[in-house]
Structure 1
């Protein structure tokens, strides 16, 4: 045999040609538990997504889309301002399939009673391929509930946003087979403090139409067809619909100042935009812009949770696959107690994050149920804070499982690691979400009751969870240091919610280990320090991707 073709000794075989949905037992168990009568249909829906996501072809597009990031083309060859963005073909390959799987706005036009849960499972699975392109997919999904503030605008835009056809390029919206959406809220002088936004909106002579002047500090995917933005009118912050191309086919006056050079998320064209007499249509009442756009923010936060869970699952799967095929000190890594402890701990973190995201997606399918509505409100704030915050530490530990191989770019683990902090920052960073938890608890009736009812479904099944619930309720009864303790409250309530979901939907061994470590205090704070006496081998065997 040619030496070049020999199989390297003691190296993992490629983690390719594995259906990452079917091979994910925790996901399949969650679908069976949460999907009800639609569980079979959801499993069937996931088959082709998981099969394609687990191919060498998908892995190659993941790397290429980030190796060759988008390029801003401010002018054409004649010097005319065009402000377009050129993407590598791998970006378009990823987008075409993500849109084709119905991961954009399709659930909002579906009569499937589990449409949002179905889409969430697809988002979680396909997101394991590449995270950057999931940003415009998320924005397109999330814009519809905000557009419904104005039925006429919703009717105009929703069919294109719900399309499963990826139709790239700047053309009149009515001429395109599919549309994508974006959002522009933050500005350089205020960041998360939207009250100090300085973009100005001036009404025209046509009712509902305005002209915008100002700057947006972060706008993802500036080649998308339509954006929701905030701007100031005489009545205060107001929400507007801003298309890139006007109905007559002319370009809306809008300048891309630059593309952001980010830590990760390189494939996605995050940009700064300048409005100069930019045409817009008001969405909702003047002065009520934040309340109008918050529906979009809520939906994007759900995808932040799912995206972080997706990253964690990918990281765990890569670590477990490597450990199964790599030997050291006379035994496979996956058979050695220290590695089993680490992998079991990573598996718990991954599954708990996935369950939180899917449970909240299932709540989206029951908008008229008061409990589900209130649970979604408090659960999104809690889980956005906690799941996204846990991801970087978890991914760093998973990378370490591969040793030096994991530190090499070709493994993909550095890509995951650089991506891991993103969702904790997007759509409100840690303090913003922790304080939003307190705001929801103090100002929105029913949110605490919804959390207490949800975690109360397993009351009496685990003493550690029961004690943690009682501790939180005592803390909430004394609001003296509420703001200073916001992170503690958010962390504890989120972990308790995850614990209740693990008890209901995971294996007994995994639920026991989660409650012992995350709620019972039997954990040293780093992965691989689970208490003794747990079925760690069983946890790993259940969670690792099947060959």
Structure 2
């Protein structure tokens, strides 16, 4: 019997965008390039080109999908009944981790900065923002390793033991003593069931062993991500109060430290990372800092993690925007390309200025880390980190939802990658202090550290006179500070206004005129309701913004 003939359209899809692969994630992101050149150099951008090309390649996209389709699995016991508490990851997870570590996105910037690299943290921040677009889950152990170093340096001996391995650009998985490894990763065990963000409510107990600085830990940790990492910073109650401890996964003699992985969390967001609950029962630990100074010991770790929350959210925004702008540039409907439709141009342009504002603020904060010995930079980081953590992370879920809608039904299908971004979008707003915690931290800083308000005023003041809408909003925000800034109920409103002013000042000073004008006209008006696609910008300016943000392959 003759084969049945099918119309070509049944075998070859028409009017479907090609996959967004084969582009340089760094160089095609003009907002990121401008920010890196501004705070570092053009040479720094060139250093990131290899990373950008790899991140935008088909292989990276495939590994990102597979790492989430094949989630980690817990093996509590081996075949003989021995307790091993190991988590098995898919090959794609290890592929992603090998490259993230190899590009120096973990703790490497701290040592590079010590060696005289003036832009180590900006380079790393831009790389983290770009590389996280391959897959967001594996950024967790990378981020925790980066954030652990400032805390470990509280104790010089502990730092000498761990930091060189954490800064190594060799990914060396497996539970072995740090002395036997070419590279190591760090994790954290802070929160407990009854406390969450209120770590002072922790019940895990630390008991001295009689050896100087050594304790055993006894208790439960509600969230400990990446339990296969080599060392963990853990908060526990010692005789002197809440204290920070260093907990190695393997002991120097090669034996395993008692650290029972109770279960892996069935969580919203990525599936690639292993978030776990753990039990500590006689787990050996070394005190880091003085007893009762646990929060003070980890404060720099909190700052570094919050920076990565901002970078991670900016990455999700940029990835979602790239997919949306690419789709509408290749999809036709109702007689023309979607990208030629005035209303779709408005939506993409509105998303673009949101993404550029997030990127500009995130890289500005990374630059403050590179210049942390400068009093202004230190004070600005203190106030701008919780501001950005609150505002950028809070804006991300709605942003990703709008970008997903640009793809229509295609965006609702897992193969597009947008559902993963949508599930992941709330994460950074929850982690390392929820929106309320960060808004209240802004109030705390303003009350206790007068230099932080001066730093904010100086930063936004650098754009004074360039845009009357920005000037007016800054004045209104200062009035808000005097009127209700000290009241808890108004903390979110205040934090949002202060963050938007910082973003507006950066864009007015450095972004293309059409981007800055669109941001100030929309975000700094009292009538702004957060709806995307309601810009009053002219058609030619909308097209310019859309062209600026669409990836080039």
Q: State the TM-score bracket (shorter-chain normalisation).
A: over 0.9
Q: 2:439 aligns with which of 417, 420, 434?
A: 434
Cα distance in 2 for residues equivalent to 1:480 and 1:34:
31
Q: Is 1:257 aligned to 2:262, yes or no? A: yes
Match of 2:237 in 1: 232
What count of residue pairs does the alignment treat as equivalent?
A: 544
Any conservation in 2 of the 1:406–1:414 contact (CA below 8 Å)? yes
Any conservation in 2 of the 1:516–1:522 contact (CA below 8 Å)? no
Change (3 A) 1:367 1:525: closer
Cα distance in 2 for residues equivalent to 1:109 and 1:328:
53
Any conservation in 1 of the 2:187–2:227 contact (CA below 8 Å)? yes
Unaligned runs of 5+ in 1: none
Residue 295 of structure 1 and its aligned partner are, at CA, apart by 1.0
Cα distance in 1 for residues equivalent to 2:17 and 2:480:
49
Equivalences for residues 200-215 of structure 1 within 5 A? 200-215=205-220
Match of 2:92 in 1: 90
* Structure 1 length-normalised TM: 0.98
Match of 2:34 in 1: 29
Q: Is 1:526 aligned to 2:528, yes or no? A: no
Residue 479 of structure 1 and its aligned partner are, at CA, apart by 4.4
Cα distance in 2 for residues equivalent to 1:187 and 1:459:
46
Q: Is 1:162 aligned to 2:167, yes or no? A: yes
Match of 1:415 in 2: 420
Match of 1:63 in 2: 65
Cα distance in 2 for residues equivalent to 1:184 and 1:66:
24
Residue 4 of structure 1 and its aligned partner are, at CA, apart by 8.8
**Runs of 4+ with >2 A deviation:** 1-7, 478-481, 520-525
Match of 1:300 in 2: 305
Which whole-Å deviations, capped at 9, do the CAs of 1:466-520 have from their partners, x for residues lacking one? Answer: 1111111111113476100000011110011011111122111100100110002
Residue 373 of structure 1 and its aligned partner are, at CA, apart by 0.3
Q: Is 1:516 aligned to 2:516, yes or no? A: no
Equivalences for residues 355-374 of structure 1 within 5 A? 355-374=360-379
Any conservation in 2 of the 1:24–1:546 contact (CA below 8 Å)? no
Which whole-Å deviations, capped at 9, do the CAs of 1:357-388 have from their partners, x for residues lacking one? Answer: 10000000011100000001111000000000
Residue 521 of structure 1 and its aligned partner are, at CA, apart by 3.7
Cα distance in 2 for residues equivalent to 1:279 and 1:305:
34
Q: Cα RMSD between the aligned structures?
A: 1.4
* Structure 2 length-normalised TM: 0.97
Match of 2:408 in 1: 403
Which whole-Å deviations, capped at 9, do the CAs of 1:292-337 have from their partners, x for residues lacking one? Answer: 1121111000000000000000000000000000000101000110
Residue 74 of structure 1 and its aligned partner are, at CA, apart by 0.1
Q: Tell me, what secondary structure is at the counterpart of 2:384?
A: helix
Any conservation in 1 of the 2:74–2:88 contact (CA below 8 Å)? yes
Match of 1:124 in 2: 129
Which whole-Å deviations, capped at 9, do the CAs of 1:219-261 have from their partners, x for residues lacking one? Answer: 1100000000100011110000000001111100110011001
Any conservation in 2 of the 1:522–1:530 contact (CA below 8 Å)? no
Q: Is 1:456 aligned to 2:471, yes or no? A: no
Residue 532 of structure 1 and its aligned partner are, at CA, apart by 4.0
Any conservation in 1 of the 2:485–2:491 contact (CA below 8 Å)? no
Q: 2:547 aligns with which of 532, 538, 541?
A: 541
Match of 1:326 in 2: 331
Match of 1:146 in 2: 151
Change (3 A) 1:495 1:100: same
Cα distance in 1 for residues equivalent to 2:224 and 2:230:
13
Q: Tell me, what secondary structure is at the counterpart of 1:230?
A: strand
Residue 72 of structure 1 and its aligned partner are, at CA, apart by 0.5
Equivalences for residues 258-407 of structure 1 within 5 A? 258-407=263-412
Match of 2:111 in 1: 109
Unaligned runs of 5+ in 2: none
Match of 1:76 in 2: 78
Any conservation in 1 of the 2:171–2:183 contact (CA below 8 Å)? yes
Cα distance in 2 for residues equivalent to 1:58 and 1:545:
17
Cα distance in 2 for residues equivalent to 1:363 and 1:537:
33
Change (3 A) 1:489 1:233: same
